[in-house]
Amino acid sequence: MISQALLDHATKPSGLICIAGDRFSGIDQTLVSLTQSLQESRVSEPKGTGHEKGIMILRGSPQTSQIESPFLIVQYSELIQPLVQKRVEECHYLIFEKVKNFDELEWSLQLAEEGHMVIVHVATNSICSLLHRLFSMWPSSQNLHYQWRFADQLQLLINQVYIRRAAGGPFERGGNEGSEGSEFSIAYEMALSTPLVKKHLVAGNLEAFEAELKKTEDKSGFLSLNQSLLQLLIRRKIDISAAFQSTRDPEDLNNLLKKVGL
């Protein structure tokens, strides 16, 4: 299951998408499914242009390493090889799994500026944590420089929370996707790269960004985790217990439920 917002933005000509997802989020399968969808979206591209190609840069995740051609698979340790770097730069789609340091982040940003579609995954459990992690990587003396470049290329911030229910049992965090008798739902939080989002990111004002994300009223470009959980509850995809197990702000979720009479 891939968020339609993620798929829509990933098929744009270029830009930067940042995905948060911890080890319980099902992010491995999401990245695999995303590469398959992107591969299908580019089948009409002229061969030899590089536009039909994609590459995923991994830290050894066994599930994501099963991707087939035309997506290429390399490890971060291989990026020191000039030939590997050349192959990366020839690809249109670039997925950096578990970005951890400045060099990886700076290169992904440079590739987005050069016209690639770059998807950066950070192993955190929220988009606010993702932003704090990325912003902490930049040299403090160049914060404004990198904040502006980041905001200029950013298309979408998205986080997913994977919710599993064993057959006949309660919903739980985590689990093995596709287990026999299981049911799954994914809750999202996201922020589109609106002028308001860009303003907060350029200023490095993550507290203001987080405050906007937490507002419960409908706001174009923002979706909080609790709003997503509420949508799943209304559609009867999850139950109350699962929603409260997955939320990071139970009081806010409770207020949302009261407003809609749940």
Its pTM stands at: 0.86
Query: What share of the chain in percent tops pLDDT 70?
Result: 82
| 125 domain-assigned | yes
CB 200 within 8 A of CB 147: no
| 87 domain-assigned | yes
Tell me how many domains the chain contains: 1
| 236 domain-assigned | no
| 262 domain-assigned | no
Q: Looking at per-residue confidence, does 74 or 174 come out higher?
A: 74
pLDDT at residue 26, as a whole number: 84
Residue-wise pLDDT for 164-220, tens only, equals 764 444 445 444 443 334 478 899 999 999 999 999 999 999 999 988 887 756 566
Exposed/middle/buried for residue 140 (C-beta within 10 Å: 0-12, 13-18, 19+): exposed
| 235 domain-assigned | no
Exposure string of 147-176, with b = 16+ CB inside 10 Å and e = fewer, is bebbbbbbbbbbbbbbbbbeeeeebbeebe
The CATH number of residue 116's host domain is 3.40.50.300
